[in-house]
A and B are shown apart, each in its own frame.
Chain A
Amino acid sequence: MKWLALIALALASLVCAVMLGPSHVPTAELFSSPIVRDLRLPRALLAFLVGGALGTAGASLQALVRNPLADPYLLGLSGGAGLGAVAAIALHLAGPWALPLAAFAGALGAMGLVYRLGLVGGAELDPRVLILAGVAVGAFAAAVTTALVSLSDATELRNAFLWLWGGLSGASWDTVRVMAIYTPLPLAVLYAAARPLDLLALGDEPARHLGADVERVKRRVYVAASLLTAAAVAVSGVIGFVGLIVPHVMRTLWGHHHRTLLPAAFLGGGTLLALADTLARTAIAPRELPVGIVTALVGVPVFTLLLRRWTTA
């Protein structure tokens, strides 16, 4: 029943995203309109895929680092992606894919660095070291980014920050195709790690005693969640709150078992972002709101309500 409701909600969010937009498209022309076919539909699908990727990555990372504050950007990926994007603009790299590829490379660079730092203490990934390394690498990358922006003469660099704040205006069938081909693998890796992730919640030692290959699981989950996030950042910038709030909401509804939590977080994240983007496009039309602002405006009150329920229960 819960699943049916979630799936229905997910479909409804996609229908909303396709039906509603800043320009008026008569319902009769919904299927023939180039605006719907080339702009709204790919954007709705991209929003869903990105939201789903962020929700799943967030749920996995929260289990991995055993920290409820963990979100997909905690581990320095947003800083790395931003640096990559700004460097691409500063170096005048041309081509429609220059910016997403540079952002992706930057995110992977940050991921590698944080991973390496996470192993500093020895052969084991220590969640605490991982978080600290993520924050440090993210801050460093952000500092270099700001230095680049303030030192460069290129006026367009000021606008690079707008891209960083996140948005789905770059959506096209090309980006949808890339995400649709790319995301299933890391999603499958995370889903395969669902059972060991459950055990990991008990702590490294108990999980090991219960038969989980803790080190391998941690490494796989870290890399897969980071790859998901890096792709999401590359196509849509840094969209906050989806990867933080959706896993918590889904955990209250579906419990702590990752076999159900991860798919629920995917659907929930996709639904939230598709709806948030619809709101971003239509709320103050013809102007558009940055979608990250909408996810924060919608997400934070919901989160506050949840916190109240948890603390009073």
Chain B
Amino acid sequence: MRPAAHSPHLAGLLLALAACGSGARPPARGPIAFPDDAGRAVTLAAPARRIVSLAPSFTEILFALGAGDRVVGRTTWCDYPAAALAVPSVGDGLNPNVEAVAAQHPDFVALYRSTLDETAAAQLARLGIPAALVRQDRLADVAHAARLLGRAIGDATRGDSLAAAIDTFLAAPPPVPTTRVAFVVWDNPPIVIGAGSYLDELARLAGASNVFHDLGSASAEVSLETLAARDPDVIVVLADSTQAPAFAAKREWQSVRAVHERRFVYLVGSLFGRPNPRMRAAVAEFRRRLQAAR
């Protein structure tokens, strides 16, 4: 197993050297080292050629950086771009199946930063597979991940330019909010999105304000009473269909005016279910849907 795992390294090194000789884009030379978001030092012998991407947004970023052909493993949830579906799935991204990941003989694994995944990163390190734990909770984290993954694939220039485009987009002043929204993720108990989530940011960029912006966490359990009292104009739900959510039929939910008046905005999971480089399209789509719902 070991020699097999090492040969891609060698191939990668040769390719990198060849690219160096041609003098096209100056790729990183020799070992690549950078710290990940858990403060671990990640060292790659050469630009990554066989990558297992353990978060849908990493997969999107890698494809956006033109490194889609280097992705040799993805999660069940990686559904964009369509070409990613051709990559073999290794199962869940959170608390991944390390054996399934290792079976793809990766020379680099990108993991979502969470305590669950730190164990996996340590296990991969013991197998000699470099892995990076990368934050992916806010929109700015996408730019950060683009920089980091750009380095890992030996194309920092491209990663930095994608990151710069995202930073510019995020730095533009948001429109004056005209719609007050609440994101309802679950109904019993009611769970809503707070300021800690990228969805709160997307709402702000789309000209809406989240009525639960005062909650610092990404999501939180609240009383139905609080939701009724804060009285959002529309309820936003992440759903792939435009069928009214189950709670719309529940009696106690009729106390929430937007539910009673059936003012729902549906956001599809593949575009809105995670922070991703398509955030400009997501914001435009969100704004369209908000206008249609008012």
Which of B212, B225, B228, B254 has its CB near the most chain A CB atoms (within 10 A)? Answer: B225
B22 interface contact, C-beta 8 A: no
Residues of A11-57 whose CB lies within 8 A of B: 21-24, 34-35, 38-40, 42
Chain B residues lying within 8 Å of A40, measured Cβ to Cβ, are: 225
Q: Are A167 and B188 in touch, CB under 8 angstroms?
A: yes
A204 is an interface residue with CB less than 8 A from chain B: no
Most buried by B among A95, A96, A173: A96
Cβ-closest chain B residue relative to A236: B188
Q: Mark A158-175, 1 if CB is under 8 A from B, else 0.
A: 010011000101111110
**In the complex, chain A residues whose CB is within 8 Å of the CB of B188:** 99, 163, 167, 169-170
- B252→A38 contact, CB < 8 A: yes
- Cross-interface CB contact of B255 among A22, A35, A96, A99, cutoff 8 Å: A35
With contacts A159-B186, A159-B191, A290-B189 known, is A96 near B222, CB below 8 A?
Answer: no
Q: Would B229 and A162 count as touching, CB distance under 8 A? A: no
Q: From the candidates B76, B189, B214, B252, name the one contacting A288 in the complex (CB within 8 A).
A: B189
Expressed in whole angstroms, the minimum distance between the Cβ of B248 and any Cβ of chain A is 9
Let me know if B221 and A39 touch, CB within 8 A.
Answer: no
Binary CB contact string for chain A from 79 to 94 against chain B (1 if under 8 A, 0 otherwise)? 0000000000000001
Whether B223 lies near A22 (C-beta < 8 A) is: yes
Tell me the bound Cα distance from A163 to B246 in angstroms: 15
Q: Are B225 and A172 in contact (CB under 8 A)?
A: no
Contact B215 A286 (CB under 8 A): yes
- Whether B250 sits at the interface, judged by CB under 8 Å, is yes
Q: A22 CA to B215 CA in the complex, in Å?
A: 14
**Interface residue B165 (Cβ < 8 Å from any Cβ of A):** no
- Interface check B26, CB cutoff 8 A: no
| A22, A99, A289: residue with the most chain B Cβ atoms closer than 10 Å | A22
Give the complex CA separation of A281 and B225 in angstroms.
Answer: 9
Interface string of B67-103 (1 = CB under 8 A from A): 0000000001000000000000000000000000000
Closest CB in chain B relative to A19 CB, distance in Å? 13
Contact of A172 among B191, B230, B246, B252 (CB under 8 A): B252
Interface readout for B201-236 with A: 1 if CB under 8 Å, 0 if not?
000000000001011000011111110111000000
Query: Of B185, B186, B220, which is in contact with the most chain A CB atoms at under 10 Å from its CB?
Result: B186
Bound-state CA distance A174–B281 (Å) is: 43
Taken together as a complex, chains A and B put the C-alpha atoms of A108 and B190 apart, in Å, by: 27
Could you give, for residues 132-171 of chain A, a 1 whenever the CB lies within 8 Å of some chain B CB and a 0 otherwise? 0000000000000000000001001001001100010111
Q: Given contacts A163-B188, A290-B189, are A172 and B215 in contact (CB under 8 A)?
A: no
Residue A308 at the B interface, CB < 8 A?
A: no
- Given A38-B254, A169-B190, A286-B214, residue A21 in contact with residue B223 (CB < 8 A): yes
Nearest Cβ in chain B — how far from A208, in angstroms?
A: 46
Q: Are B229 and A23 in contact (CB under 8 A)?
A: yes
- On whether the beta carbons of B225 and A22 are closer than 8 Å, the reply is yes
| Known A-B contacts A156-B186, A159-B191, A163-B188; A170 and B252 likewise in contact (beta carbons under 8 Å) | yes
A167 surroundings in chain B (CB, below 8 A): 188-189
User: Shortest CB–CB separation between residue B169 and chain A, in angstroms?
Assistant: 28
Whether A96 lies near B250 (C-beta < 8 A) is yes
A309 at the interface (CB under 8 A from B): no
Establish whether residues B191 and A286, one from each chain, have CB atoms under 8 Å apart when the complex forms.
no
Which residues in window 181-233 of A have CB below 8 A to B?
A: none
Partner of A287, one of B185, B221, B224: B221
Minimum C-beta distance from A282 to chain B (A): 9
Separation of A175 and B250 alpha carbons in the complex (Å): 11
B220 to chain A, nearest CB (A): 5
Tell me, yes or no, whether B126 is within 8 Å of chain A by CB. no
The yes or no answer to B25 lying at the interface (CB within 8 A) is: no
Q: Could you say which residues of chain A place their CB within 8 Å of the CB of B190?
A: 169
> Top 7 A-B pairs ranked by shortest CB distance?
A23-B229, A172-B252, A172-B251, A159-B186, A169-B189, A96-B250, A22-B226
Report 25 cross-chain contacts, Cβ distance below 8 Å, ordered by A residue: A22-B225, A22-B226, A24-B229, A34-B228, A35-B228, A39-B225, A39-B228, A40-B225, A95-B246, A153-B76, A159-B191, A163-B188, A163-B189, A167-B188, A169-B189, A169-B223, A171-B252, A172-B250, A174-B251, A281-B223, A281-B225, A286-B214, A287-B215, A288-B189, A288-B223
